[in-house]
Amino acid sequence: MTGEKKALNFIARHGAVIGICCVLLIFQMIEPRFMRIDNILGVLNSSSLLIVMTFGMTMVMAVRGIDLSIAQVADAAGVIAAMLILSGKNFAAAIMGALLFGLLIGIVNAVLISYLGVPAIIGTLGMMFVVRSAELTLTNGAQPQILFTLPAARVKHFFFIGQENIGPVSVLILLTVVVIVVMYFVKERSVFGRYMDAICNNVRSSLLAGINVRRVFGATFVISSLLAALAGVMLVSRSGNAVPRGVETYLTDCFVAVYIGTLVSSRNKFNIIGSVIGALFVGFLSNFITLMGMGIAYKNIFNGVFIILAVALGVLKSRVNA
Amino acid sequence: MLDKKRLRPAKVGTLLLGKGTGVGMVIILCLLGLRAPLFFDITNIMTILKQGSVLTMIALGLTAVLIGGGFDMGAGALVQLTCNLTAGLLIAGAGTAAALTSGITVGIGVGAVNAFLVIVMKIPTFVATLGTMFIMQGITSWYNGGKALTINSIPGFAVLGQGRIAIIPVIFLIVIVVCILMNYFFKHTKTGLRMYASGENPAAARLRGLNTRRYLLLSYVISGLILGFTGVLQCSYNYGASAITSGMDFLIQALSAAYLGSTFSKTGELSVIGTVISGMFIAALSNGLIINGISNQQISGVLGIILILSILLTVIKKREIGQVTIF
């Protein structure tokens, strides 16, 4: 094997891990506050909802679908939860309302895309705009729904998810760990997950093998909308107010996280553990940009560069493997 | 007997595909006009043609990529970028010609970068253009510093977006000229027809001996050229550039126009003329809804529904699960 080939092989195998570590190290060198323990805990806390949202995208993308509506669903679910609390409902009703909304959108998406055959990218893009316009109409032109000014007794239970600690760990992180474990078993260790892999590899042969392709494909959209709604509730509970259109930027973060996640798997598959790593990386990246006082412009550029780098590395990897 | 008469979804779909889109558009517009007679006023119609022109141009740029078998998430972002660039140059005192050339050059450049990522680096079209979209958004907000760039009316430049010949807006005439040129290119030249072929069925085109990569490159460059030019038009139409960088609203409307346009053809084939008609229809619809007292917030929802319905019309015949092989 020539030296050049060896180098290519090495980059393909370990490039992602080395790259991520290098980027984090460089950040640390530029900004010494970066790796302080309280900063790391803060990043973990704020990345938790990105992780939950990323899982939805991972599930959909693992069967070669795509869901552009998740950020908007998270947004609207948060607003719905906040409005229910403001109108005097208790916390359980608010959370259930938000999750039901996610379920509803997920089912509509599934019917449109899996049963009627609308291409996923068009169907969910359309849905994103429908949800957005419903949300803006509902909130009278994007008025923020403020919860933290309410009397503490009314919002105490609702804020428990986002602002309390059990022992040293925050409830938000614990909840995320539960979601990670559940999703790991659904995606990597269950029959359903195997069906998803089969559909990803070859739709026709999995149909012949007796898998209900439409149902599995549709189910991923329901899961992704549900998780998005959960993330929306987590965010509102953490920040204490719901600003319409405030979650929209998370969509781009999800893409970066999911694509970085594929590099963790040896065959470039979309996988849960990878998505966690990807989401944490994105969390640290945004944190660094905030610490340095750089604006949205740099964040967008970083996002774009990392997506292209991640996918290019993935392509290189599959070529070396082949 | 009953069995034969039963309307099967596929048959309804075929029927709608044949005539439905055109008839549907006319009915919807008539209904809107019935409630607000102002809608059919000649000045209002000219206003619609002017309002719809930028959108239609973006849709044309997108159509070029889609015909070649690619996809472009960054169409709207590219228009915003060149629009900001043009506004910045004009504020700095550059002339109309300089602004125009730089806009078009940047457009072609971005198209070439997209093509490079897709063809040489073998990155799936969706992801590659998503990446460049983020980068363009970043550059735009870095360039304008989050502020709107407003220009004063410059006589030579303002004609592009604001001028009228007799009563017809100049910008609409530009759309017509671009449409005729593109239609000639795609339907009547060898290169254009081959681009259709390589977009429709790359494997078959390759077996037939076509260099599909070359046609994909060409489609990205043509689209970049059109989108870059559209940015300049948008700058002239808008008296500058707005601070919104995402261009997502542009993207969804342009996609709707392109797919709605494809419902004119029996086989659901994308066409330049269909795109122009649909682009103008969407503009007329927004205008008519506003005249009828529907708020701006709801219009994007209506457009989302149109996008889904228009694609449903084309796919209802050949229903498979909506996988997109973009990864």
User: What amino acid is encoded at B326 in this protein?
Assistant: I
Q: Which residue of A has its CA nearest to B245?
A: A297
Q: Which residue of B has its CA nearest to A309?
A: B131
**Beta carbons of A124 and A69 less than 8 angstroms apart:** yes
Which of the residue ranges A167-181, B126-140, B237-251 would you say has the lowest mean pLDDT? B237-251
Residues in B 36-75 with any Cβ partner in A closer than 8 A: 71
Residues in B 273-302 with any Cβ partner in A closer than 8 A: 295, 297-302
What residues of chain A lie within 8 A of the CB of B261, using their CB?
Answer: none
Q: Tell me the C-alpha distance between A105 and A103, whole Å.
A: 6
What residues of chain A lie within 8 A of the CB of B319, using their CB?
Answer: 116-117
Task: Please answer yes or no on whether A113 and B321 come within 8 Å at the CB atom.
Answer: yes
Could you say which of A213, A300, A303 has the minimum Cβ distance to residue B141? A300
Task: Please answer yes or no on whether B139 and A119 come within 8 Å at the CB atom.
Answer: no
| Chain A CB within 8 Å of residue B268 CB | no
| Rounded CA Rg of chain B | 20
Q: What is the pLDDT of residues A288-300, one digit of tens each?
A: 988 888 877 888 8
pLDDT above 70 covers what percent of chain B? 89
Q: What is the pLDDT of residues B258-275, one digit of tens each?
A: 888 887 776 778 889 999
| CB neighbourhood size of B94 (10 A) | 15
Please tell me what DSSP assigns to residue A111.
I
Q: What is the pLDDT of residues B226-263, one digit of tens each?
A: 999 999 999 998 888 887 766 777 887 888 888 888 87
Q: What is the pLDDT of residues A250-273, one digit of tens each?
A: 888 898 899 888 888 877 888 999
Interface test with B, best of A63, A128, A133 (most B CBs within 10 A): A133
CA distances from A222 to A19, A69, A233, A235, B256 (A): 34, 12, 17, 20, 25
Q: Tell me the C-alpha distance between A4 and A9, whole Å.
A: 9
Q: B309 to chain A, minimum CA–CA distance in Å? A: 9
* pLDDT class of B318 with cuts at 50, 70, 90: low
pLDDT of the residue at A117: 84
Interface test with B, best of A60, A66, A130, A265 (most B CBs within 10 A): A130
pLDDT above 90 covers what percent of chain B? 39
pLDDT of the residue at B5: 47
Burial of A135 (0-12, 13-18, 19+ CB in 10 A): buried
User: What amino acid is encoded at A164 in this protein?
Assistant: E
Nearest to B260 by CA among B247, B245, B271: B271
Token digits for A165? 């600690």
Q: Count CB pairs under 8 A between chains A and B.
A: 165
Nearest to A171 by CA among A163, A183, A182: A163
Please tell me what DSSP assigns to residue A219.
H
Q: What is the pLDDT of residues A103-121, one digit of tens each?
A: 999 999 999 999 888 888 8
Could you say which of A122, A130, A301 has the minimum Cβ distance to residue B311? A122
Tell me which of B305 and B57 has the higher pLDDT. Answer: B57
**Beta carbons of A83 and A93 less than 8 angstroms apart:** no
